[in-house]
Amino acid sequence: MKHSQATLSSTNLARLRIHDLTPTVDHFREEVIAGLQQPQKTLPSKFLYDKRGSELFDHICELPEYYPTRTELSVMRLHVDEMAAFIGEQSMIIEYGSGSSVKSRLLLNALQNPAAYVPVDISRDYLLKIAATLAEDYPNMEILPVCADYTAHLEVPEAHTPIDRRCVYFPGSTLGNYHPNEAAQLLQEIALVAGPGGGLLLGLDLKKDPQILHRAYNDQRGITAAFNLNLLTRINRELGANFNLDHFHHYAPYNPHYGRVEMHIASLGCQQIHLGEHEIPFQVGETIWTECSYKYTVDEFTALAASAGLIVEQVWTDECHLFSIQYLTVKA
């Protein structure tokens, strides 16, 4: 369905209740400087998703090498009615890292009388654009966009419509971007957001042939590389740094010991980067670690979820067991 910019701006955007908790530039600067001063330089993966980063990630999801999105969608199309039955009627769906909300539309269409949809994303402009379109497509459902870092404590806006239960929707295996101890903490926060009797519908990538993983995170067209390096462009633009992208390259190996893909930006030579009053030295081959993507077995994740107070009720997978969608409930 196509929408004119005028329609989105004048009608839907005006009636949306925006909850704007966008991280400030000062917060961004503090985290970037702190990360680049570590022995292993690192930058939080959440900062990959400015407007351009979000658009590039949408392109990644369409790549033939990138199996997670199409596999997750195939599992959803086969089992979305079962998922909707677990969630129940008159529910509030709170989506972490909503992005383009493509998968959530499948879920919203299958639900019986959903009361409200709360897309949560850190990219404000992208969130507003998608939320305005959703408001037009679902005129009888409250759309309550929240621009925030969902890894912090999330305050969910109150809906005008009565809510029977909350269900957090966390697709795309984004939970794998966090180290297991961090993932457990995030799951604990999700349990608090969902509340007693609430649920979590989660996309989770499974362990598999490392060659499949290598192709997925090192695509031939270089879209993933552009997505990763865009973070340096953002730091230059917003913080006044002087990264030269020609002097860095994308590097994403699979670490079988930890069961994770590690996404890095590697320096091609010795260089000094200036960021305000700070000078950041780089040696040849030194990297900035921008993202990890942990892969789990079903049993490994069941144990992790239990440590956070969540019970796995149902697991759906594709025929090749590449990817899973799981429904969990909060322990009483």
The pLDDT score that the predictor gives to residue 4 is 34
Q: Are 154 and 195 in contact (CB under 8 A)?
A: no
Rounded distance between C-alpha atoms, residue 317 and residue 232, angstroms: 36
Residue 293, strand partner residues: 261
Q: b/e map of 18-32 (b: 16 or more CB within 10 Å)?
A: ebeeebeeeebbebb
Per-residue tens of pLDDT for the chain, all 332 residues: 333 333 344 444 445 666 666 668 898 999 999 999 999 999 999 899 898 998 999 999 999 999 999 999 999 999 999 999 999 999 999 999 877 778 999 999 999 999 999 999 887 888 888 888 898 899 889 999 998 888 877 888 888 889 999 999 999 999 999 999 999 999 999 999 999 999 999 999 999 999 999 999 999 999 999 999 999 999 999 999 999 999 999 999 999 999 999 999 999 999 999 999 999 999 999 999 999 999 999 999 999 999 999 999 999 999 999 999 999 999 87
The pLDDT score that the predictor gives to residue 306 is 97
Q: CATH 3.40.50.150: does it fit domain 5-24+67-207+296-330?
A: yes
The pLDDT score that the predictor gives to residue 97 is 85
Residue range(s) of every CATH 3.40.50.150 domain in the chain? 5-24+67-207+296-330
The pLDDT score that the predictor gives to residue 163 is 93
Q: Specify burial of residue 5 (Cβ count, 10 A radius: 0-12, 13-18, 19+).
A: exposed
Give CA separation, 264 vs 51, 56, 158, 269, 290, in Å: 21, 17, 39, 15, 6
The pLDDT score that the predictor gives to residue 267 is 98
Give CA separation, 133 vs 1, 11, 14, 15, 114, in Å: 9, 10, 12, 12, 17
The two structure tokens encoding residue 177: 């971007």
Strands 199-205 and 165-170, bridge-based pairing:
parallel
**CB 77: neighbour CB atoms within 10 A?**
11
